[in-house]
C-alpha cells in the first residue's frame, strides 16, 4: 500500500519549515517514487546535521567507513547544490572522524551553526514542493 499525503499537509510542513516532519515524509515518498536529486541530498544532509546528539563520529562510522568514495560522492553533491562550506566540513569529518578531538570540533561547529544548517537544508527543496504532491489528493 502506498502512503499518500494531502496537499494541505505538505503545504503546512513547507509553510512552517518543519524539517523533521519533511524528512520523514520525503523518506517515505522517495521509497515509492523517484524524486529530484535535491531531495536525497536533503535527507542525507539532515541526517548528518542531526548526528551530533550521539557524536558526529557515529554518523561516519555507520557509513562505509573504509570507502572514502562514498564520502566524496556526497560532498560533491553538496557542492553541486552550492553548499561548498558544508562540503568542506563534511570532508573534514570524513577525514578525521576517528580522532575524538576533531569530532568534538565538528560537533560544536554544527551546534553553533544550527540555524544556518536548517536554512540551507530547507533551501534545497524550498521551490520543489510540487514534486511531493500526489495527483490523487
**Is the distance from CB of 75 to CB of 90 less than 8 angstroms?**
yes
Over the stretch 54-99, which tens digit does the pLDDT of each residue have? 788 888 888 765 677 888 999 999 999 999 999 999 999 998 888 8
Tell me the C-alpha distance between 106 and 14, whole Å.
Answer: 28
Mean pLDDT of the chain: 91
Instruction: Give the model's confidence band at 118: pLDDT under 50 very low, under 70 low, under 90 confident, else very high.
Output: very high
Is the pLDDT confidence value at 31 over 90?
A: yes
Q: Which residues contact 103 (CB under 8 A, 6 or more apart)?
A: 55, 56, 57, 93, 96, 97
Tell me the C-alpha distance between 70 and 77, whole Å.
Answer: 11
Amino acid at each position: 500500500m502506498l502512503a499518500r499525503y494531502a496537499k494541505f499537509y505538505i503545504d503546512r510542513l513547507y509553510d512552517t519549515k518543519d524539517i523533521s516532519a519533511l524528512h520523514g515524509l520525503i523518506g517515505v515518498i522517495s521509497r515509492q517514487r523517484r524524486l529530484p536529486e535535491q531531495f536525497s541530498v536533503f535527507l542525507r544532509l539532515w541526517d548528518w546535521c542531526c548526528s551530533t546528539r550521539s557524536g558526529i563520529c557515529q554518523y561516519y562510522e555507520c557509513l562505509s567507513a573504509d570507502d572514502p568514495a562514498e564520502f566524496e560522492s556526497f560532498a560533491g553533491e553538496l557542492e553541486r547544490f552550492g553548499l561548498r562550506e558544508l562540503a568542506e566540513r563534511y570532508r573534514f569529518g570524513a577525514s578525521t572522524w576517528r580522532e575524538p578531538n576533531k569530532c568534538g570540533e565538528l560537533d560544536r561547529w554544527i551546534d553553533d551553526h544550527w540555524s544556518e544548517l536548517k536554512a540551507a537544508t530547507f533551501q534545497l527543496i524550498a521551490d520543489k514542493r510540487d514534486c511531493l504532491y500526489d495527483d490523487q489528493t
